[in-house]
Amino acid sequence: MYYIINLAMKKIIITFLISIILTSNVSAGTDGENDLSKNSKTVKDCFESLNRGSFALNQGLDKVILKPVARAYRGLPSPVRTGTSNALTNLSSLITIPNNVLQGEFKTAGINTGRFAINTTIGILGIFNVADKMNFPEYEKEDYGQTLGVWGVGTGCYLVLPVLGPSTVRDTAGSFINVLGGDPWYNASTHGNNEFLDESDYILTKTLTAVDFRANNLETIENLEKNSMDFYASVKSLYLQNRQRKIMNTNATIEVIYRGNEGDWEEIENQ
């Protein structure tokens, strides 16, 4: 009992410390102004040399491991890939639902709970997307990094994490919340104390998520790399745009895409 209380206290203290660090980052870095009101140019690349080093390492790992595995995965029959992808998306609901609640999106939380219940039972562990056939609204993944963004926490510096890829200080903190009790799937598989699941199941699902993403984007990434003069800068731009769009919870509206950039289009009218 004492151990559990101690562990819970430890988690609360770590979460509190992360919140303090991020909140002070907002005040110092943005004069207290919500980061979303500015464009992605304000995201500083404070550790660029280090980031470029990690980026090169990740490219090497991608070339040797992830890309060949993704190609092999692509060779599997389409229903197998679709089923895997569906099951992984269904599992991600376990993080999405608490984040819907934390962002005050109670209706969406209810819909996603219904979707999860139907797909897990009738859809056999999410392999079949039955909810989709029942015309449920389009599913949007949420995570703790996005919730911190919605709460007005600043992005912090841009980071490239070895193996894990592009991130920011805020998104990295969000990922820590997963392993501090925020991800029910992590809790059940790693600390669940049951005979059906263990840590390897969690690692397997995370690995499969990465392989599935890579397999879906083989040509796109190859094309982008081939046609970029600075591939690192292109990936950084795309990552930050994508996060900005997700935090705004909108589907590519013009206000989000050109936030802070619209003036550029107006300016070139006169040149």
For other proteins, the binding residues (CB under 8 A) are: 40-41, 74, 78, 216, 219, 223, 226-230, 232-234, 236-238, 241-242, 245, 251-252, 254, 256-258, 261, 264-265, 268-269, 271
State the DSSP H helix or E strand holding residue 93, giving kind and residue range, or none if neither.
Answer: helix 78-102
User: Which residue lies nearer to other proteins by CB, 31 or 219?
Assistant: 219
User: Which residue lies nearer to other proteins by CB, 186 or 239?
Assistant: 239
User: Which residue lies nearer to other proteins by CB, 19 or 237?
Assistant: 237
Q: At what angle do helices 231-247 and 218-226 cross, to 10 degrees?
A: 130
User: Which residue lies nearer to other proteins by CB, 168 or 189?
Assistant: 168
**Rg, C-alpha atoms of the chain:** 20
User: Which residue lies nearer to other proteins by CB, 151 or 213?
Assistant: 213
CB of 240 to other proteins, least distance (A): 8
Amino acid at 3: Y
User: Which residue lies nearer to other proteins by CB, 11 or 74?
Assistant: 74
CB of 58 to other proteins, least distance (A): 18
CB of 33 to other proteins, least distance (A): 21
Tokens for 40? 């992605």
The answer to whether 182 and 97 have CB atoms below 8 angstroms apart is no
Give me the DSSP letters along 176-230.
Answer: HHIIIII-HHHHHHHS---SS--HHHHHHHHHHHHHHHHHHTHHHHHHHHHT-SS
CB of 92 to other proteins, least distance (A): 16
CB of 222 to other proteins, least distance (A): 8
Interior/surface letters 24-54, b for 16+ CB within 10 angstroms, e for the rest: ebbeebbeeeebbeebbeebebeebeebeeb
CB of 212 to other proteins, least distance (A): 11
The answer to whether 158 and 165 have CB atoms below 8 angstroms apart is no
